[in-house]
Every structure is written in C-alpha cells, then in structure tokens.
Amino acid sequence: MRINLASVLVSDQAQALEFYTTKLGFVKKTEIPMGEFSWLTVVSPEEPDGVELVLEPASHPAVGPFRDALVADGIPFTSFAVADVQAEYERLTGLGVVFTQPPTDMGPVRTAVFDDTCGNLIQIAEMTEAA
C-alpha cells in the first residue's frame, strides 16, 4: 500500500494552481473539468510520478469552520519536505509569500509556516538531525 493522492482544500482552484505552480514550483499533472470545479492535481518536479496533491474545492459547509479554526490557532493544514528551510523561506519571501512563522528549530526539525492565499497555512520542514 502507498499514498497516491493527498488533498489540500482551496477556496479558488485557479488561484491555488497559480500559487502552487508559480510560487511553490509544483507542476500541474491533471486537470479534468467536472462542472463548476475540476479534478486538479499538482506534483513535485522532483517526483513527477509521485504523490499527487489534489487542489480540492473547499465547497463543503464543514470546510470553512475547520480551516478557520486551524488558521486561528496557527496550525498548518499539511507539511512539505524541503532540503533547506532557510533557503526556501528566503526564496518564497522574495516571491511575495507571507510567512506566519519564520524558520524555527523544533528538536530534530526546522520548520516555517506560510499562507497559501487559498485559506490554508502550510508548513515546510527539514530534518536537521537523524530521526
């Protein structure tokens, strides 16, 4: 068994696709129109056949209160692995990405948290010590 898909709930699929590709550097893999929304996925250019991130419409009534609570508490919806949090922080900040937590050492990991402009806080993390 392996993970094939993971979702992030987004308020606007077109805006999310723009952010996740032009700012974060993911690559669009699938876009299938399905009425008002699309089946829309992106992948890491480092693993084009790896896990697909579904840019999932946040249209279900439970999504708003759930995401609002996470954001209010500063809790990231998901986390992406990076080789160097500080370098990614500087690169993304230079592209206008807004961080709610700068690079912070937390035991064996260094993390930073940014706003994805689509209703979510997203964490980037690097292992700084062997687990």
Q: Please report the domains of the chain, with CATH numbers, ordered by start residue.
A: 1-60 (3.10.180.10), 67-131 (3.10.180.10)
pTM: 0.94
Q: What is the pLDDT of residues 62-105, one digit of tens each?
A: 999 999 999 999 999 999 999 999 999 999 999 999 999 999 99
Looking at the chain, the whole-number percentage of residues with pLDDT higher than 70 is 98
Q: Give the pLDDT confidence score for residue 131 in this predicted structure.
A: 57
| 93 neighbors 45 (Cβ within 8 angstroms) | no
Quick check: 16 and 5 in contact, CB under 8 A?
no
> SS3 for 18?
helix
pLDDT confidence of residue 76 = 98
Q: Where would I find the beta strands (DSSP E) of the chain?
A: 5-10, 27-34, 37-43, 52-57, 78-81, 99-106, 109-115, 121-127
Q: Is the predicted pLDDT of residue 31 greater than 80, yes or no?
A: yes
Confidence label for 110 from pLDDT (cuts 50, 70 and 90): very high
- What's the average model confidence in pLDDT over 36-59? 97
- Listed residue (122, 77, 86) closest to 105, CA to CA: 86
Kindly report the CA angle at 37 between 32 and 40, in degrees rounded to 5?
45
- Cα distance between residue 76 and residue 92, in whole Å: 17
What is the pLDDT, as a whole number, of residue 129? 82
